[in-house]
Each structure stands twice: as structure tokens, then as C-alpha cells.
Chains A and B, each alone.
Chain A
Amino acid sequence: MRKVAVIGAGMTKFRHRMLETGRELSFEASRAALDSARMDIKNVDSVVLGSAPDAFDGLHMKGEYLLDGAGGSGKPYTRVYVGGGTGVFIPAAAWWHVASGVSDVVLAVGEEKMSPLQPHPQYAFWSIFDQFLERPLGVTLLWIFSLEMRRYMSVYGIKEEDIALVAVKNKGNAMDHPSAQLPMRITVDDVMKSEPICTPVKRLDVSPTSDGAAALVLASEDVARKYTDDPVWITGVGWNVDTTFWTNRDLCYPEYVEKAAMMAYKMAGISNPGKEIDFAEVYDPFDYKELHHMEGLQLAKRGEAPKMTREGVTQRDGDLPINPSGGLLGVGNPIAAAGVMKVAELFWQLRGEAGRRQVKKPVHRGLAQAWGDLMQVGTVVIMER
């Protein structure tokens, strides 16, 4: 396999509702990523785009709708989709284009425009559930998160207050992100007193729905070295999808995230992730998910991520900074774009370009992870400089 570098990244603002169409947002992010790589669309061999359910936009053939904005017209073009895991799967799919030798330069684009669906984007998620066993009960996406959070708390004896610390940290980190939708200085008490949605999930445990786009430029080694003296390398990718019968799995632990991580760790030659990963952008659509995923990624022992959080290990100045960007909880959650944002944050952090978001310790290796579908998919990218 060939070495694969990331040489550019860009993103739009993330907001609840944007003026631009999804196609326009895709263009803005793609153009920004190309500008940062000092490239033009003529340098791009192929394009990989990701976007989550078509039901948000009410446009089937969404990949084709977004094609022109993502720079894909007249090129080998692929839309990938694994629910919420899509954002980190996009660079993984772009990686195999370059690693295999099929393409030298790939534009990787994540787009989401959730706001069109009325009265609330949440409604679209109804259509992901089993039509015989689950929809007749009135199921919402919030149910499965609350059921998983309860199971996680119950099995490991975790308190809601400890989980709330993640929301406090990530929304605080987002104060330094120029694209952020929900940067906030809040306290554990604010989270605990926020409106209950589906217990134990409360309003401030949840990331917002968003519009936005983010993009990356991936290149083969010889091309990367022409454009930059200092490429950032993708050294590991992994993905895994567990059974769709989610009521047959113990939700306390995401085995599919572990399997995705192990695939990436093996590729990157990592045997002790807790020591060898310097920082991570872990998927955090809900605050407990950051903890759950740290454990799946082997960055914490089972049930011990809350303790690390309480001790400050996961702060930007801690030993293992988690979500220095502000994550989905703070920057926003335009689903596929949010995952690409996490990989873009690895790029900026590894290059020392994250400004006020820059983690305190020197960093050489970072991990980004996303998760989705019916609590069944893990996607992982490891980058090094």
C-alpha cells in the first residue's frame, strides 16, 4: 500500500440553519480545503462525499445533488454512508483510493443540511427503525441514546454528574472554534438542571442539529511532498458494523468500536493506544458517548473514562486531551460534516495550527472516531506527523 497524506482541510460555520444550500456549503468547504492545500480542482483525481439520511433534505440522489458543489463532476465520484459514522468513514474511503494507487489526489467532503425538515430534523430518524417491531411503538432516536446511556451507567455504576463533565468540557473548548454553533461556559449544575428529554438524557447532554460542511485533501506521498514540506500522514484506518438487532447486544460497551480501532491500531503498529495516542477526537453526539467511545477505543479501561474526565486527563492541558475542537457538543453536529471536522482538527492540531485550541503537550499522533446507525458502526482514522 502507498503512504497517504492529508495536505489540506477546510470547513464552513456550523449553525442550526444556514442560508446556503447543501451544494453551496459543499463548495465552500471544498474550496477552503483546496485553498489550504494550494491546489485547484484540476489537481483532484477523484472525490469521495458523505452525507447522512436523504430524509433531512427531502432529496433522494443526494450524492448526485451535491456532486457539483463537491467538485466531483466528470470525475470518479463515490458517496459513502454509514449513518453517524459516515464523517470518519469518508477519509477512510478516500484513503483507500490513494493507498491502492487508483488516485493520487482525492477530495473528501462531508455535508449535512438538516434544517429543511419540519417541524424538527429529529423526525427523519424515525425512518431508520424496524418497521414491524419498533416504529409502531412511537420510537425516536433519543430513546436509543437514553437506553444506551442508562445501560452504561447501570453496568459500571456511573453518575450523571460525571457524564455532565464532558458537556462542560466540550462546550467550553468550542469557545475557541471559529465555526462553533454552541460554545458555552456552563457548569455540571447547568447540565443537571436542564430539561429532561428522555431520562437520563437532558437538554445539555445532547449536541444540536446543524447545517454545515467540511472537507479534506488527501494525496499520495510524491504529490504531497511537492505541495508541502510537512505532510500529515494517515497511518491507520478501521471500520466495523455490528448486527442491526441492537436489542440483542449489551449496550454497555461498543464492541464494534473496539474492532474498528483494533483494525486501525494494527495498521498503524500501535500496541498500547492509551500511551501511543497523544490526543483524540472522539465521537460525542451525547456527552456519555465520549466516555463510552474512549473505552471502546481502549483509551480508558471499561467504566473508567469518567474517572479520567474527573481528574482532568481529557482537558486540553491534560495527559490525553479528548475533543480539543469542542466536539459535536460544542462545534455542532451536521452529521457527516461533523466527522470530517474531527479529522480536520487532527490535521490542524498535528501541524500546530489550532491557535487557541492547540493542546498543551506536543502531539505527534491523533485519532478521530465516529459512530452511528442503530448503535452499530465504528469508524476510526489515525494520523501522524
Chain B
Amino acid sequence: MGRSHAGRNCGDYGEVMGMENPSEPPGTALTPDEWRGKEIFFRNFHTKFTYSWDTGVAIGHFLEALKGGKIVGRSCSGCNRVLVPPRMFCELCFRPTDDWIDVLDTGVVNTFSISYVNNDASRREQPLFVAVINIDGASPGMGFLHLLGEVDAGQIHVGMKVRAKWKPAHERTGAITDISYFKPSEGL
């Protein structure tokens, strides 16, 4: 490889870190040329795992409700909260939750972002509007992540009132994407 090993034999490292002109800490940085030019040996590997997740009791019911065009939460009589997303137990009271509650398909933008990247850090051609929506009928501050649509980037703001844009009933599959996005529910 023709590179010296910038290893531990470069002195008393604990003191080295503190010296005015410290010697090289150990470790050999690869330059982009070495990496892209494959001047060192690489072993490439690709794998694919396939999963089939049970949606569970709480989220399974939530997704079933979405398929029917409704958003549901779970109530806890211990802390008097309506939990969205629903769960079969309350993490604060640590007891089973009590009842299914129909909440509304409207809410308020808690926070938002305009995303220019995909999940592999590549750039998107069209930015995606993402938000945490506090759902009306759930306890204050409770909601979930979703997308925003039918709105210009410059119009989105924290506190914006929104309503779910549902997919047509025959296209719904019992998934979070049965809601296409949330859109402004009143004049901006």
C-alpha cells in the first residue's frame, strides 16, 4: 500500500493530544481517490432481508380504522388521556387502556420541514413537505408524522389547521398512506 502506519508508535499519546504541535493521532484517512480508485482492497456485499410484521393489537385496529376513513385513539382513565397513536397500555399509568375513541381527521401543524433529500441522502427532484400533526380530539400535543399537500412551501406554518386528504375507499389498504396527506382546512 506504500503508506506508513500512523499508529500508536508515535509517542505518548495522552500527552500528545495536549502538546502545542501534536503528532498525528492514530488512524489512516482514505482519500477520495484511494476510495474511488480502488487502490485498496474492498469486499462488496449486498443482502436483502424480507420481513412480514404483524401490525399488533393497537396499530392493527388503527390501520383498520384508517381503511374505513377514520382516525381512532385509545383512552386511559388513569390519566384521562386520549392516546394517538393508540396503544393497548398506558406507558405512564402502566395499566391497560380502556376504550377506542373516534377522533377527528383534522388537526394542527405542530412542526414542519421541507425535505430535499431521500432516506439514502440523495437529493429529491421535488421537495416533500413533512409535519407532525396534532390530531383534534386527541389529548393536547398528541399526533403523528405525516405529509402536507395542496399548499405552497411559503404558506406552511406552525399552528396551521389541516384536514386529512383520504385516498378513495377502494384504494385504501389499511396503511398510514390511506391518508395521502394533510391539506389546509381553512383560509391561509
Contacts and interface: CB of A to CB of B under 8 A. Distances in A.
Interface in A85-135: 119-120, 122-123, 125-126, 131-134
B120 A178 contact: no
A186 interface: no
Contacts of B24: 13, 178
A83 interface: no
A362 interface: no
B130 A18 contact: no
B119 A17 contact: no
Interface string B14-33: 11111110111111111000
Given A138-B128, A248-B142, A355-B22, A199 B176 contact: no
B93 interface: no
Interface residues of A, number: 72
Contacts of A199: 113-114
A377 B81 CA distance: 23
A15 B30 contact: yes
A198 interface: yes
A33 B6 CA distance: 16
Given A133-B59, A136-B175, A249 B113 contact: no
A10 B14 contact: yes
Interface string A343-373: 0100010011111101000000000000000
Interface in B113-144: 113-122, 128, 130-132, 141-144
Contact of B25 (A19, A154, A179): A179
A140 B117 contact: yes
Interface in A220-268: 243, 245, 247-251
Nearest to A154: B158
Interface centre among B23, B114, B142 (most CB of A within 10 A): B114
B94 interface: no
Interface string B148-188: 00000000001000000000000000011100000000000
Contacts of B117: 122, 140, 142, 197-198
Interface string A1-34: 0000000111111011111100001001101110
Contact of B8 (A28, A142, A150): A28
Contact of A37 (B14, B25, B53): B14
Interface in A23-63: 25, 28-29, 31-33, 35-37, 58
Nearest to B20: A355
Nearest to B34: A19
Contact of A248 (B7, B12, B45, B141): B141
Given A8-B14, A120-B121, A154-B158, A146 B113 contact: yes
A142 B115 contact: yes
Contacts of A172: none
Interface in A263-312: none
Nearest to A151: B111
A72 B45 CA distance: 28
A212 interface: yes
Interface range, B side: 35 or more
A126 B119 contact: yes
A154 B160 CA distance: 13
A249 B111 CA distance: 12
B19 A18 contact: no
Contacts of A32: 8, 13-14, 25-26
A178 B6 CA distance: 13
A10 B83 CA distance: 47
Contact of A28 (B16, B27, B91, B143): B27
A196 interface: yes
A123 B121 contact: yes
| Most-contacted residue by chain B among A245, A247, A251 (CB, 10 A) | A247
Nearest to A28: B26
22 contacts: A9-B14, A13-B27, A16-B29, A19-B29, A36-B15, A122-B121, A125-B119, A132-B53, A132-B55, A133-B59, A133-B176, A137-B147, A139-B145, A140-B118, A147-B132, A151-B111, A178-B17, A179-B25, A251-B110, A251-B132, A353-B15, A353-B18
Given A178-B16, A245-B91, A355-B19, 14 more contacts: A9-B14, A31-B8, A120-B122, A122-B120, A132-B59, A133-B85, A133-B176, A147-B113, A150-B112, A178-B25, A179-B27, A243-B91, A249-B141, A251-B132
